[in-house]
């Protein structure tokens, strides 16, 4: 089994670019604009299913979301 890491709300599974249903919310561009990668457009890809914007290691996740960003979130 492969493990993936993602930053999202544990109750709603809401992500910073998309919700769990794949609908764009863009929360990182307004509500959470303190994040390091707030300018990054995360275009929708119909080929992706399930969790979006995931990494395969914690080290990679820290590159996208430094620990300070995660603490603030």
For the chain, 73 residues long, give each residue's pLDDT as a single digit of tens: 888 888 888 888 788 888 777 788 889 999 999 999 999 888 776 676 554 667 889 999 999 899 999 999 8
Q: Could you tell me which residues are beta bridge partners of residue 5? A: 55
Task: Give the angle 44-60-16 at the CA atoms, nearest 5°.
Answer: 40
Q: How many CB atoms within 10 Å of residue 29?
A: 16
């Amino acid at each position: 089994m492969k493990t993936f890491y993602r930053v999202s709300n544990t109750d709603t599974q809401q992500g910073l670019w998309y919700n769990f249903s794949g609908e764009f919310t863009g929360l990182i561009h307004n509500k959470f604009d303190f994040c390091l990668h707030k300018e990054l457009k995360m275009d929708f890809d119909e080929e992706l299913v399930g969790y979006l914007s995931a990494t395969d290691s914690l080290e990679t996740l820290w590159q996208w979301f430094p620990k300070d960003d995660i603490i603030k979130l």
